[in-house]
Structure 1
Amino acid sequence: MRETQRETVQVSPLGDDLAFLDVVTEWDMVTVYQDWKTAIVVPPTFLPGSLPRIVAICNQKGGAGKTVTTLELAMALVAQGLRVRIIDADPQQASMSAWLRFFYPEGVASENRKNLKDLYFDDDVTLSDITYATPYEGLHLVPSFPDLEDVESKQPTGTDTLLRFQLRKNDDGIDVTLIDCGPKLGPLTASALVAADDVVIPVQAASGLDVMGAAALDRTIATVKKRLNPDLRVAGVILTDFTRSSLARKIGGGLAKRYPDAVIAPARQNVRIGDAQLARQPLRIFESGATTVLDYDRAARILFTRGR
């Protein structure tokens, strides 16, 4: 792993006395709306995975909150003392690599700075070579840029299984790898799903189109499970931009029925996420007491570290 001499800061855990959502075993569609309370659903059948863990964050629909979800889950995990790697598998210009600062090693010329695209096209590049430190202790990033789109268009040999091959080595001491997928169900997303143990699906709580995108993702997951990764599972659904409404309640109930073994976790709306992105800071740093931060913190504890 490419380390840097730059100093990183430790991310502090949150206090236990904050306004966390309750945890329940099923999505409540029975209580009258006036008395209904938003809660995180952890079904009795949910089994947290052992570490190390590889998780793909994806939904075919753009704007569902994949990058926010990836970064805030990562920040919650490093606050617990875990070593986390984010892989930016989204070729868009406004992706994780534009939001999260990272450090190239000192003394490495710009022409020798590698990124995710090089992993697919250069047999001599390893995942360790392109894993860089960020300002936060325990958090590392594999960056990408718009030319990652070449993987989609040219599909070099072994695209489907290369990421799995590299991640299964895991000689970097990483506890959780989060793969931030792009909005297309193309070769890059397929590569992430083949590599992953779990899928976490962000769905906007007020968007029927996001639910349709998740349905399309279901078909891709089924194909990957059948052909290349039979143990892949949907571990969680994050209801992003969540505000209490009858529509959000209906969408949450439908997703809980579709994924009966998955955690369903609302992430309450925060209008300052855009400000955090412009400041190039995770929301957890930019506005640490925000309810959205609390929701991702609780979701991370449930999804990845229960029973650790």
Structure 2
Amino acid sequence: MEEVSMTDQATRAHTAITRHGSQPIEPGRTTAVINQKGGQGKTTTTVEKATRLAQRGMKEGKPTRRVRVIDGDGQDGSLTAILIPQWQDTPPAERWELADVMLGRCTLDQATWPTIVPGLDVVPSSEAVNQFSRVATDPGREWTLHEAIEDSKRDYYATFIDCPPDLDEMTLAALVAADGIIIPIKIGGLDFKGLAQLNRTLAKVRKRLRPDQVTHAIIVTQRQQNGLTDDVIDQLLADFPDALHATVRATIRVGEAGFAEQPVLLFAPECTAAVDYREIADVLFVDGEAA
């Protein structure tokens, strides 16, 4: 897809894609959604991408493939609060979560649960996941999540990791586990400056641990029409020439969906953000089944 200028976008039908500089993400890959600063739209981006892929896998009302999301952020209000694990019939002592996986108490499959979205499974998280960063350092512990995904016996079309809003041990493990990354960013001076530290971390991970890792997409969330937004988008295009660049229009529907504990693609499927997230997912993940 050729680059589309902001002027051109104003005179034609809206498109969420500013520039498509990346190859589609292949089935079976693991993607980390990361930004070290909170409030950038990481969780929303993860939930909506995963929901869209699960919807595309539905045939005659039944899922023909599955998508897994891993909640790497143990804070209240994280991904687990939207994609609530459907584990009501499981004894509390057996309701495994990501902390149990990272600390060797169970397998990733044992900590994977269905959600209200058909075909979409979640590995939930809580504050207990912070124990992973506090336990004694073991050689190679940054490979823990990668190994857990590799050891999984379940077949998933895509795996997403919603990273914490910092660069701690859990984030490092998520980056090592990821074949590629998506970076959501909300436009603001301090928000944009935080990318510099993230880029330094990514450079180290790719040099020492994952030289095959790529940046799939840069997604500007809650886009507003102003000069600062245009300037930052231009800079992002220059800094990440090989990534897909996209924007998601601001709408209160995203916040309302979170309050309702639903993906916006279920809560308000025709709102502007839902339209944009759907388009971005269909370009990032091309398999001949996109609607």
Q: Same fold (TM over 0.5)?
A: yes
Task: Tell me the residue number matched to 1:26.
Answer: 3
Residues 213-245 of structure 1, C-alpha deviations (whole Å, 9 max, x = no match): 222111111111011111111110111001222
Q: Distance in 2 between matches of 1:207 and 1:38?
A: 22
Residues 271-302 of structure 1, C-alpha deviations (whole Å, 9 max, x = no match): 12222112111111111101101111111111
Is the Cα–Cα contact under 8 Å of residues 201 and 214 in structure 1 kept in the other structure?
Answer: no
SS of 2:212's equivalent in the other structure is: coil
1:200 equivalent to 2:182? Answer yes
Q: CA 1:113–1:227 in 2, change beyond 3 Å: closer, same or farther? A: same
Q: Distance in 2 between matches of 1:98 and 1:120?
A: 20
Of 93, 108, 113 in structure 2, the residue corresponding to residue 127 of structure 1 is 108
RMSD, aligned CA: 2.1
5+ long unaligned stretches in structure 2: 58-64
Displacement of 1:121: 1.2
SS of 1:213's equivalent in the other structure is: helix
Q: Distance in 2 between matches of 1:39 and 1:115?
A: 34
Equivalent residues in 2 for 1:122-271 (5 A)? Answer: 122=104, 124-154=105-135, 157=138, 158-204=140-186, 206-271=187-252
Q: Distance in 1 between matches of 2:209 and 2:116?
A: 36
Of 32, 36, 48 in structure 2, the residue corresponding to residue 72 of structure 1 is 48
Q: Distance in 1 between matches of 2:232 and 2:2?
A: 17
Is the Cα–Cα contact under 8 Å of residues 27 and 253 in structure 1 kept in the other structure?
Answer: no
Task: Tell me the residue number matched to 1:54.
Answer: 30
Residues 8-51 of structure 1, C-alpha deviations (whole Å, 9 max, x = no match): xxxxxxxxxxxxxxxx522527x5997697651344x5211321
Task: Tell me the residue number matched to 2:266.
Answer: 285
Q: Distance in 1 between matches of 2:143 and 2:238?
A: 31
Is the Cα–Cα contact under 8 Å of residues 33 and 183 in structure 2 kept in the other structure?
Answer: yes
Task: Tell me the residue number matched to 2:60.
Answer: none
Is the Cα–Cα contact under 8 Å of residues 61 and 209 in structure 1 kept in the other structure?
Answer: no
Residues 84-140 of structure 1, C-alpha deviations (whole Å, 9 max, x = no match): 11100002112111222221162x321222110011112x51110000000111100
SS of 1:305's equivalent in the other structure is: coil
SS of 2:247's equivalent in the other structure is: strand
1:89 equivalent to 2:72? Answer yes
Between Structure 1 and Structure 2, how many residues are aligned?
A: 280
Q: Distance in 1 between matches of 2:8 and 2:113?
A: 50
SS of 1:241's equivalent in the other structure is: strand
